[in-house]
Amino acid sequence: MQVVPNADLVQTGGTITIDVLVTDQYNVPVRGATVLLLSDRGSATERTLFTGADGRVTFTYRAPAGDGTDGIRVAASSGGYGSDALSEHELEILVLAPPPRKTVEPAPAVGVSLGAVIAIAVVSTEAGRLGLFNLVLFPLYSRLRREEVLDHFVRGQIYGYIQSHPGEHYNRMREDLRITNGTLSHHVRTLEMQGFVKSRRDGIFRRFYPEEMNIPQDQGTRLSDLQIRLLAHLRRSGEGYSQADLATALGVSQQTVSYNLRALSRHGHVRAVRAGRQRKYFVLDGLDA
């Protein structure tokens, strides 16, 4: 499950949208999944939504009163209430309180310029205070916020990994760094928003690069780690392997092996040969034409 808020900070009482994509173990969108959003302090227009054909739902989150952080948990299940859970995701939203409203004391009869009078009149209005916050305080906060982005230990690890492994895909990053899907999704989103990294879709993968790096235009066909292991195992025998043999040897389900063998066959890497009741698979570059 991928959970992407359109911002990770919001003013008190403000709203942001949170997009959720629910997929199965093969990265195929799940239709009709139940998605539940729970917030420690804030609220949402709808607490429960059901995914469409594209596996997506969008929540509108409203920030609570008072500043600080608000924890949000998003859970997805395969059907109605009580059905099997698919995944959970946790994230934090930073809530900013607007500047406190101050009572303007009567100005002395002398020594007050026209500019001061105008400034006092503007700041005393709701629109004026909000404009002052957006014009002066919010840009200052944003600059400080960006400088603190890499201070987070896990976020710094992710940034360092992308710098040393440009073009690596999301799932490999998660496996190498040994962090949860929700944690990686949140921190990568923050790094993208603050301009440290950028990404590009490559088939079923999303690959990440440092912001200053030019993304290669032609990457060719990329294989997953499991597909590389499948090919390596098939090359060890000239007699071929069945799906059941491969599933046992690699420690994965037969359905997973079947899905990846079909993908390899489409790209011209393997060929299936009927052997009695079974199909045996061979690496094409190891067969005579």
| 93 shares its domain with 17 | yes
| 205 shares its domain with 232 | no
| 199 shares its domain with 255 | no
pLDDT at 58: 92
Domain stops at, among 82, 97, 112: 97
Whether this model's pTM surpasses 0.75: no
Give the count of domains, the chain.
3
| Residue 205 host element (H or E) | strand 205-210
Residue ranges in the chain assigned as alpha helix (H): 114-123, 126-132, 138-148, 153-164, 170-177, 181-193, 225-234, 243-250, 254-266
| 202 shares its domain with 273 | no
Residues spanned by the domain of 73: 2-97
Q: What are the residues whose beta carbons fall under 8 Å from the beta carbon of 113, sequence distance 6 or more? A: none
CATH number at residue 92: 2.60.40.10
The tokens for 41 are 């302090």
Strand partners, 204: none
End-to-end CA distance of the chain: 43
The tokens for 144 are 């400080």
| 243 shares its domain with 279 | yes
Domain stops at, among 62, 97, 132: 97
CATH number at residue 274: 1.10.10.10
| 231 shares its domain with 206 | no
Q: Which of 167, 140, 155 is nearest to 196 (CA)?
A: 155
Query: Does residue 280 lie in a domain region?
Result: yes
| CA 122 vs CA 125, 138, 170, 241, 246: distances in Å | 6, 18, 48, 78, 73
Domain stops at, among 97, 118, 136: 97
Query: Does residue 240 lie in a domain region?
Result: yes
Q: Which of 27, 42, 22, 26 is nearest to 83 (CA)?
A: 22
| 36 shares its domain with 85 | yes
| 171 shares its domain with 249 | no
Query: Does residue 281 lie in a domain region?
Result: yes
| 158 shares its domain with 244 | no
Query: Does residue 220 lie in a domain region?
Result: no
Query: Does residue 218 lie in a domain region?
Result: no
Strand partners, 205: 202
Tell me whether strands 15-21 and 2-5 are parallel, antiparallel or unpaired.
Answer: antiparallel
- Rounded to the nearest 10 degrees, the angle between the axes of helix 153-164 and helix 170-177 is 120
Kindly report the length of the chain. 289
What φ, ψ does residue 29 adopt, rounded to 5°?
A: -55, 140
The set of long-range contacts for 248-251, using a CB threshold of 8 Å and a minimum separation of 24, is: 250/226
Query: Does residue 142 lie in a domain region?
Result: no
Query: Does residue 66 lie in a domain region?
Result: yes
Strand partners, 241: 281
Query: Does residue 87 lie in a domain region?
Result: yes
Full pLDDT tens readout for the chain, 289 residues: 777 777 777 888 889 888 888 888 777 888 888 988 988 888 888 889 998 888 899 999 998 887 778 888 888 887 654 456 667 888 888 787 776 565 556 655 544 455 554 455 544 555 555 555 555 555 555 554 555 556 677 888 898 899 888 888 888 888 888 888 888 888 888 898 888 999 988 766 788 988 888 876 655 556 777 888 888 888 887 778 888 888 998 888 888 888 888 888 877 788 888 878 888 888 875 433 3
